[in-house]
């Protein structure tokens, strides 16, 4: 099975040697794509670093980013994406949900 750990270089996922390399990278670089607080509600989008696709052998791109809403009516909302750009879009959509733009 191919290596499922990644780091980012210029916002592009690049395979790495494993957990220890990823952890060193994450400590130096951070993992947040975006973070917002709306009252008591948090919207967080992070780079996971580990491919969350259930069938990595499928040939589809790795799922490496996660957007979550914590608190409020949408608590537990979660979207996972493959690219930095998709992660930014997911964060904006989550913010719109919390703000009531797209109820």
Cα 32 → chain centroid: 8
In a domain, 95, yes or no: yes
* Domain presence at residue 18: no
Q: In terms of residue numbers, what domain contains 83?
A: 30-99
pTM for the model:
0.91
Question: pLDDT tens digit string along 35-85?
Answer: 999 999 999 999 999 999 877 677 889 999 999 999 999 999 999 999 999
Task: Indicate the number of domains in the chain.
Answer: 1
> What sign results for the dihedral spanned by CA atoms 13, 14, 18, 24?
negative
């Amino acid at each position: 099975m191919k290596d499922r750990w990644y780091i980012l270089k210029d916002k592009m996922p690049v395979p790495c040697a494993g957990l220890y390399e990823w952890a060193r990278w994450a400590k130096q670089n951070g993992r947040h794509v975006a973070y917002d607080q709306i009252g008591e509600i948090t919207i967080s989008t992070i780079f996971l670093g580990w491919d969350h696709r259930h069938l990595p052998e499928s040939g589809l791109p790795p799922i490496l980013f996660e957007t979550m809403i914590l608190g409020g009516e949408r608590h537990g909302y979660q979207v996972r994406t493959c690219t930095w750009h998709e992660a930014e879009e997911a964060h904006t959509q989550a913010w719109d949900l919390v703000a009531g733009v797209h109820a």
